Amino acid sequence: MLTFPRWKIIMIMGVVLLGILTSLPNFLTEKQREELPGFLPSDTLNLGLDLRGGVRILWGAETDDVVNSRLNNIADQVRDIRRSEQGLNFRNIRIEGQSVTAEVTRDDMVETAREKLRELTTVTVGAANPLMGGGIKELELAQDGNKFTLTLTEQGIEVQKREAVARAMEVIRKRVDPDGTKEVTIQPEGNDRIILEVPGADDPEQIKILVGQTAKLTFHDVNTNVSAEDIQRGRVGYREKILPSKDGYSMVIKERVILSGEDLIDARVEYDKNGKPAVGFTFNTSGAKRFGTHTQNNIGRPFAIVLDNEIISAPNIITPILGGQGQITNVGAVADAQELATLLKAGALPIPLQVMSERSVGPDLGQENIDAGEIAAVIGFIGVIIYMILSYGRFGIAASISLITNLVLIMGALSFLQATLTLPGIAGIVLTIGMAVDANVLVFERIREEQNNGRKPFPAMEHGYGEAFSTIMDANITTFIAAAVLYMLGSGPVQGFAVTLAIGILTSMFTAVVLSRFILATWLKRVRPAKLPL
């Protein structure tokens, strides 16, 4: 355990050197960072909203659109029943207030219609009681002769709106912080407002553009039999609409959606056959099947790719597209393609958002308190080092070197990942420092105990590290699991605490178990003392 082969020494030195290089930019001025060679990292720590300030935006959610979309969906389901059930025909399918009405044309099909429509009302949404299970009935069915009415319940409407806001918050998080390292804070305010806080941001306009786009991607059939004069006068057929294209002209598309962005599982920047930026996309299994069937049955006809009520592409179907993959061309520069890919990958906003207010936020604590906190941290850190040296002598010096290296590695990892450091993150670092010191204390006390039992220096140190290793691993693994759960279930500052805690656990394991052992083993082999100076 005290023998280090050459490859392991190179690995240890490499990790330490990498940590120094990645953390170095934090100690340089902006001008000095710009003068660094291109192959060296130049990213610094991102400070959170409570330490550095940032942007705070209040979004208003237009939740009424949720009701309209749900009613249109119900009307489409009624039409699907009409197409699938032989002999059953509905007429006058229309939306009235918060209801969808339809009339059965044949008296002998009234009972069949009631059974089929009743199936739509069995769907429950939300959780009436999370402990008891169950849900809320969303639709109620009423009958007046041959006329049927499907009405959204008030509870169902409220649940739909609440879930739409929750989905919108998740989409915002994926767009603003796709890697989960910036510690953005997203929380609801009331029933139809969302607060977004982005630490360290200095361009609210860019955030508003990124978040404000609905990014609703849909695929539609195109009606090519409409003349330019009809389009100019707005004369279109039933369930058709005129949409502008990105190239400046207008087209008539069928309102019925062939596929939507919900079927996408991936979106990425690619290049088309002319070498221009494009966005490639991949459908899930069901989407790929529907896309393949549609293209197989419509060879020679165009289909429209619509993003936020604008036709961004309308290619002709030359051959069946059976692989579930496609490409959106004519998207602009590489930056535009990257932005579109990010939007599509994050998903569409279920509801439109409007900016209610925006403001730049200064540090919550104030610079004086931040400086005081830094001084307190330095004093505490120096106090720990003095205690370790006084308690364990040369071993305490090795532990102090490991502790300093641990901080450098944490800072380097956070800089490399571009994670945002906030007060909860600092708490995570302090906790890992305590665990690193605790690991060294466990090892040193175990070595002291082995030496008191009569073992020579080499066996005492080897048994000390070996016997303490399992205890250190148990403590760190359980803490790492807790950090992983916090990251998966938490958000914002909680995730920031979990990130720094997890990184700190990995670095402290390296410095406390590997680096300090390497330092002490090297010293022991060179000096060969008769007794360990503990």
Phi, psi of 25 (to 5 degrees): -55, -25
Q: For 149-199, what is each residue's pLDDT tens digit? A: 999 888 888 887 888 888 888 888 877 887 666 667 788 887 788 988 887
Is residue 421 within 8 A of residue 46, CB to CB? The reply is yes
Phi, psi of 252 (to 5 degrees): -100, 125
pLDDT of residue 367: 64
pLDDT of residue 365: 56
Domains defined for the chain, CATH in brackets: 6-52+366-527 (1.20.1640.10), 64-160 (3.30.1360), 216-348 (3.30.1360.200)
pLDDT of residue 45: 80
Give the chain's mean pLDDT.
83
Is residue 103 within 8 A of residue 78, CB to CB? The reply is no
pLDDT of residue 389: 92
Q: Taking 70 as the threshold, does the pLDDT of residue 272 lie above it? A: yes
Q: Please choose, from the candidates 362, 115, 344, the residue with its C-alpha nearest in 3D space to the C-alpha of residue 213.
A: 344
**3-state SS class at 103:** strand
pTM: 0.55
Rg (CA), the chain: 32
Burial class (CB in 10 A: 0-12, 13-18, 19+), 95: middle
pLDDT of residue 503: 92
Q: Taking 90 as the threshold, does the pLDDT of residue 426 lie above it? A: no
pLDDT band at 362 (very low <50, low <70, confident <90, very high): low
**What amino acid is encoded at 175 in this protein?**
R
Cα pseudo-dihedral 90, 96, 98, 101, rounded to 10 = -20
pLDDT band at 131 (very low <50, low <70, confident <90, very high): very low
pLDDT band at 368 (very low <50, low <70, confident <90, very high): low
The residue-averaged pLDDT of 473-485 equals 91
Instruction: Determine what percent of the chain is predicted with pLDDT higher than 90.
Output: 16
pLDDT of residue 171: 83
Q: Taking 50 as the threshold, does the pLDDT of residue 129 lie above it? A: no
Q: Taking 50 as the threshold, does the pLDDT of residue 524 lie above it? A: yes
Strand-pair partners of 271? 277
pLDDT band at 410 (very low <50, low <70, confident <90, very high): very high
Q: For 313-336, what is each residue's pLDDT tens digit? A: 888 888 887 778 888 777 778 887
3-state secondary structure 172-183: HHHHHCCCCCCC
Instruction: Determine what percent of the chain is predicted with pLDDT higher than 70.
Output: 92
